[in-house]
């Protein structure tokens, strides 16, 4: 056989075949796995540098989930017809894979490590994201890169109240839960969830169901490692010298404690600066070969202080109780001309959210691997450098900003009204003005305020809160403690940022970041209980007293909309040849007209009267004029026997010469000219659909003019009532 090291392993996951193979492709990577789940195929490759990267104090891991549109038989729609920057979905998937695998690498590893999962074929019933996560885990596990895996991941749905592992496309369409759970053999390593107000017990049971399924796949991967796994390479540890560490800690720990003991981030940072300077002044010369490690040692000293206070003394750096939330404040209507605005402040974290309502044509178009082609609710999150007191040019959103925006979007999506109830595209932008932890949850609260202030009839208000974790020396199996509403230092030096958003009824979103290998069921239950109580407090005591329900009226600056349905077969009449009819209507009434294939028509503009007028004209185009009704018409053609007048785009009738005026008319040109605007009455419609109009009747009935002569019944016969059904011809 040409591929001597080619191996294939097969198992079953949620009733579908899962295959992992190696030894055939990408032979120069540290390890390569082709993961196949159903007809979904993802090539997963991992590489690591031979030497550590100089001058870094973190593990340089990059995770890239690459969507190739050939996987679903599409050619990219860009000018160059090739994939460009990753889609938002790809970035979120990269983050979802990164979060459970990163804590399992050695904390002192500084070798560059690259993970690339390339989606090559997509079966809609078999998630490429889950296939990639399992493939990546297997690739790292069999590689020579030091790692304490493997992990596995599954999707969990809730269909008709039943928990479903890796739901199919059809099941996902009706599922009340979109949950991703990653696990090691023993612990839950990552949770990402969106749900339709799921109660805590149901969410916990869904997580545990996913965890149990993951254990089977971890065991499957371990069997592969036993067979073909490489010996892990030795690496140069980045840990500082223990003697230097002990000496510096003894020198500065008391000063560090005093500096950290404040609820003001600015005061804390200022108090730490002279301590850093003193450490460098005293130790730079003595440890000239290790000066770059001094700042890292200072980080470790601070981490030791914060964790010891929390674990041993139940003391927080800002003096709060373990389950006490920072001072809160909420406001609405801060900006004059925006459609809705809300400011949410939690301690020194402050987020201003702005809601904008647009037409349905403003919905975001999506070009990805799944079936979703657009979304009408969009949430963007911005994190400028001034929010943390730093100076840095803005270069657009990074992965973190995209991830936080997506979390807030996921949290609020279940309460957004349907397009039938509220035919608007909705964009919310959360501007982080000041950051000291939990900005993503602040953006959820601020966005709820902004949406209600804008008059969006959300089903229920949503609040978000985070829960932190400190584990003992024995890790998560030993002593642990959790605390509510973690600030920056507690996130930085702690073991967990467990973010939960929801209404009073239930959970709408979860995102969990860990620095340890995983969580036990007891920790998850405690986090749910504490975040549930905290978000209810935020809703009842802070947000709802400011604005108790969505406003009944929209801002005067919001586009006005009129929505109605017509016979889908008549959409073409509204559009016209080459769009001529709809373009004329939009120009005439200064509106935008959106037509849907199912017959839905949406007319939108800044003036509601003009929207209604355009809607009436569309109804006239579709249904024809009503006999006895009056219309404002434009003269389009002059003939010897009368004038043709347009009462709507594509709808034209004849004003016979005898009905042009209240007096006898010798020549049509004596009364009207092409382009004149005249008021007419519809006096009949022939069986062939020809329309008879009368200016004379309009002058008499509307303007009260007296006729100077009697006329014979000259218009075309027979006439019919517009509301009477035409007889069927056999």
pLDDT in tens, 542-582: 999 999 999 999 998 999 888 899 999 989 989 998 899 99
| Average model confidence (pLDDT) across the chain | 92
**What is residue 476's predicted lDDT score, i.e. its pLDDT?**
54
**Could you tell me how many helices (H) and strands (E) the chain has, helices first?**
15, 30
Q: Encoding tokens for residue 311?
A: 């674990």
Helix, strand, or coil (residue 722): coil
pLDDT-based confidence at residue 513 (cuts at 50, 70, 90): very high
Q: Considering only CA atoms, which of 446, 458, 455 is closest in space to residue 357?
A: 455
| Stretch 194-208: mean pLDDT | 98
User: What's the confidence (pLDDT) of residue 272?
Assistant: 94
- 585 near 614, Cβ under 8 Å? yes
Alpha-carbon span 320 to 457, nearest angstrom: 36
Using CA atoms, how far apart are residues 642 and 666, in angstroms rounded to an integer?
Answer: 11
| Residues counted in the chain | 730
Cβ proximity of 103 and 516 under 8 Å = yes
For residue 475, what pLDDT is reported? 55
**What number is the average pLDDT over the span 12-26?**
96
Whole-number Cα distances in Å, 698 to 40, 474, 693: 69, 93, 9
Structure tokens that stand for 720 in this block: 């019919």
Alpha-carbon distance of 376 to 421, in angstroms, equals: 13
Return the closest-CA partner of residue 537 out of 321, 320, 353, 324. Answer: 324
Angle at 86 between CA 82 and CA 91, to 5 degrees: 160
Which of 20-24, 156-160, 582-586 has the lowest average pLDDT? Answer: 582-586
Is pLDDT of 688 > 60?
yes
DSSP strand pairing (496-502 vs 463-472): antiparallel
pLDDT of amino acid 730? 39
Please indicate whether residue 719 or residue 598 has the higher confidence score (pLDDT).
598
Please name which of 113, 176, 175 lies closest in space to residue 147, comparing C-alpha atoms: 113
Q: How far apart are CA 210 and CA 206, in angstroms?
A: 6
pLDDT of residue 6: 93
Q: For residue range 351-370, what is the model confidence (pLDDT) as tens digits?
A: 999 999 998 888 898 877 88
Average pLDDT over residues 180-184: 98
Helices marked H in 48-199 — which ranges?
88-101, 128-142, 169-174
Residue appearing with tokens 């799944």: 370
Average pLDDT over residues 235-260: 91
Kindly tell me the burial class for residue 396, based on how many C-beta atoms sit within 10 Å of its own C-beta (0-12, 13-18, 19 or more).
exposed
pLDDT classification of 712: cutoffs 50, 70, 90? low
Q: Band of the pLDDT at 716, cuts 50, 70, 90?
A: low
Tell me which DSSP letter residue 211 carries.
H
Is a pLDDT exceeding 60 seen at residue 728? no
- pLDDT range class, residue 650, cuts 50, 70, 90: confident
For the stretch 254-309, pLDDT in tens is 999 999 999 898 999 999 999 999 999 998 887 777 677 888 899 999 999 999 99
What was the pLDDT predicted at 91? 96
Q: Is the pLDDT of residue 396 over 90?
A: no
What pLDDT does 323 receive?
A: 93
User: Which alpha helices (DSSP H) does 439-558 contain, by range?
Assistant: 439-454, 488-493, 521-537
Q: What is the arithmetic mean of pLDDT over 464-469?
A: 96
CB 306 within 8 A of CB 260: yes
Calculate the CA 191 to chain-centre distance.
17
Q: What is the pLDDT of residue 477?
A: 56
């Amino acid at each position: 056989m040409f591929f001597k090291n080619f191996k294939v392993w097969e198992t079953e996951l949620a009733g579908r075949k899962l295959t992992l193979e190696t030894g055939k492709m990408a032979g120069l990577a540290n390890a390569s796995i082709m993961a196949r789940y159903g007809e979904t195929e993802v090539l997963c490759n991992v590489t690591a540098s031979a030497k550590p990267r100089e001058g870094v104090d973190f593990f340089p891991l990059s995770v890239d989930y690459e969507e190739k549109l050939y996987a679903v038989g599409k050619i990219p729609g860009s000018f160059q017809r090739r994939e460009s920057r990753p889609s938002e979905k790809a970035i979120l998937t990269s983050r979802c894979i990164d979060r459970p695998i990163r804590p399992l690498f050695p904390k002192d590893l500084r070798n560059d490590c690259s993970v690339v999962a390339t989606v090559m074929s997509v079966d809609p019933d078999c998630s490429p994201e889950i296939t990639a996560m399992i493939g990546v885990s297997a690739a790292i596990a069999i590689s020579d890169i030091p790692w304490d895996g493997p992990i596995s991941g599954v999707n969990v749905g809730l269909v008709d109240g039943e928990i479903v592992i890796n739901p199919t496309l059809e099941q996902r369409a009706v599922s009340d839960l979109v949950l991703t759970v990653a696990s090691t053999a023993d612990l839950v390593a990552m949770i990402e969830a969106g749900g339709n107000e799921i109660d805590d017990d149901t969410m916990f049971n869904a997580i545990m169901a996913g965890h149990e399924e993951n254990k089977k796949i971890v065991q499957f991967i371990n069997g592969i490692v036993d067979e073909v796994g490489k010996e892990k390479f030795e690496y140069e540890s980045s840990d500082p010298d223990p003697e230097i560490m002990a000496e510096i800690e003894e020198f500065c720990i008391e000063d560090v404690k005093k500096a950290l003991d404040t609820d003001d981030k600015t005061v804390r940072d200022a108090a730490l600066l002279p301590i850093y300077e003193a450490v460098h002044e005293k130790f730079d010369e003595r440890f000239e070969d290790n000066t770059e490690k001094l700042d890292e040692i200072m980080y470790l000293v601070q981490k030791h202080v914060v964790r010891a206070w929390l674990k041993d003394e139940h003391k927080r750096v800002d003096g709060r109780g373990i389950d006490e939330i920072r001072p809160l404040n909420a406001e609405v209507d801060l900006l004059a001309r925006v459609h809705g605005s809300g400011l949410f402040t939690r301690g020194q974290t402050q987020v201003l959210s702005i809601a904008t309502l647009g037409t349905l044509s403003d919905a975001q178009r999506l070009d990805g691997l799944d079936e979703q082609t657009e979304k009408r609710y969009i949430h963007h999150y911005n994190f400028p450098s001034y929010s943390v007191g730093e100076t840095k040019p803005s270069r657009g959103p990074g992965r973190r900003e995209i991830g936080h925006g997506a979390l807030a979007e996921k949290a609020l999506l279940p309460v957004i009204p349907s397009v039938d109830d509220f035919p608007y595209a909705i964009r919310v932008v959360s501007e982080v003005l000041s950051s000291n932890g939990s900005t993503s949850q602040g953006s959820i609260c601020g966005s709820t305020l902004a949406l209600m202030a804008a008059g969006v009839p959300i089903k229920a208000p949503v609040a978000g809160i985070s829960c932190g974790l400190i584990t003992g020396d024995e890790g998560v199996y030993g002593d642990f403690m959790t605390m509510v509403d973690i600030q920056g230092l507690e996130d930085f030096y702690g073991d967990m940022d467990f973010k939960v958003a929801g209404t009073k009824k239930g959970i709408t979103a979860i995102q969990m970041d860990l620095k340890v290998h995983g969580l036990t069921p007891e920790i998850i239950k405690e986090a749910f209980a504490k975040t549930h109580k905290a978000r209810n407090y935020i809703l009842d005591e802070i947000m709802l007293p400011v604005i108790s329900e969505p406003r009944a009226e929209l801002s005067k600056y919001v586009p006005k909309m009129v929505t109605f349905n017509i016979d889908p077969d008549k959409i073409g009449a509204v559009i016209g040849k080459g769009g001529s009819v709809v373009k004329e209507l939009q120009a005439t009434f200064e509106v935008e007209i959106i037509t849907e294939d199912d017959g839905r028509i949406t007319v939108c503009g800044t003036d509601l009267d003009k929207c209604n007028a355009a809607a009436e004209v569309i109804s006239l185009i579709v249904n024809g004029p009503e006999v006895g009704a009056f219309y404002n018409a434009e003269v389009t053609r002059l003939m010897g026997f009368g004038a043709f007048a347009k009462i709507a785009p594509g709808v034209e009738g004849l004003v016979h010469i005898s009905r042009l005026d209240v007096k006898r008319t010798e020549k049509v040109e004596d009364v009207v000219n092409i382009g004149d605007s005249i008021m007419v009455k519809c006096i009949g419609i022939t069986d062939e659909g020809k329309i008879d109009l009368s200016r004379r009747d309009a002058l008499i009935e509307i303007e009260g003019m007296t006729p100077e002569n009697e006329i014979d019944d000259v218009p075309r016969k027979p006439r019919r009532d517009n509301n009477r059904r035409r007889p069927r011809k056999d």
